Amino acid sequence: MTAPEPFGARLAAAVGTRGPFCAGIDPHAGLLEAWGLADDVAGLERFALGAAEALAPECAVVKPQSAFFERFGSRGVAVLERVVSTCREAGALVLLDVKRGDIGSTSQAYADAYLDPASPLACDALTVSPYLGLGSLEPFVATAARHGAGVFVLALTSNPEGPEVQHARTTAGAHAGGTVAGAVLAHLRALNAGARPLGSHGAVVGATIDATQEDLDVHGPLLAPGFGAQGGTVDDLRRVFGPAVRHVLPTSSREVLGHGPDPAALREACRRANDALAVLR
């Protein structure tokens, strides 16, 4: 049986063809209202599938935020399943923003739900939280490797509460004395060692964080929320990521989705974002 192509290789090829911009699909109530839709399952379906059909043929990566679907229960998750399949059929990689993190068999169940091709929610990659210990991510890492999928681990987020944990100093393990974020980044660097052209294990690093002394080059993708409407600029990406900026996937939802529901306007917003980011490649 032929091993699946690693996510890192598939991502590098997609970005080379379509550009690095990652379009978020976040169907929260305010955006549904802005599109003239009711905040119900019917509105969710029209919004999310309209966004997917417009953006997925343009973007290398589309990132649905699972919580905005889950709030409608099983019918909302059914819409999410359709969004995932619509995006993948259009050639986009799907990064599901779920930020899961647990231990043992529960982590394995989450990994199977989102990364196993047999699952109706199978995606190309997902976001995870490392704060039950880096070893707790092993089921995600192993399952991703088995299926050619990717994992994006929270490292340095831009929310004001983040530094309380992420900047704290560790007292145990191989990276004792360094920051928690530094330990996460080092773990990812080790997982990606030797991968060509890019590793499949990424970090989530906010586009608007303060300057950091951490080495952000993990030889894998760097998901950068906060680009666009949340204030992050191309100059911020250069400032935060330095030489590692070539691996950055800047992501925004409101910046693009605010142009809906017109499909042509949504596609043009995605193109403009990629044009603005071309100077970083």
Instruction: Give the angle 142-196-122 at the CA atoms, nearest 5°.
Output: 40
Q: Which of 28, 82, 88, 99 is catalytic?
A: 99
Residues contacting 72, CB < 8 A, separation 6+: 40, 41, 44, 79
Calpha distance 157→264 (Å, rounded):
32
Q: From start to end of the chain, where are the E strands?
A: 22-25, 61-64, 93-100, 125-128, 150-156, 201-205, 222-225, 248-252
Calpha distance 21→30 (Å, rounded):
23
Return the SS3 of 229: coil
Residue at 53: amino acid letter: E
99 is catalytic: yes
Calpha distance 219→205 (Å, rounded):
14
CA distances from 209 to 43, 116, 132, 163, 227 (A): 34, 33, 23, 10, 11
Active site residues: 99
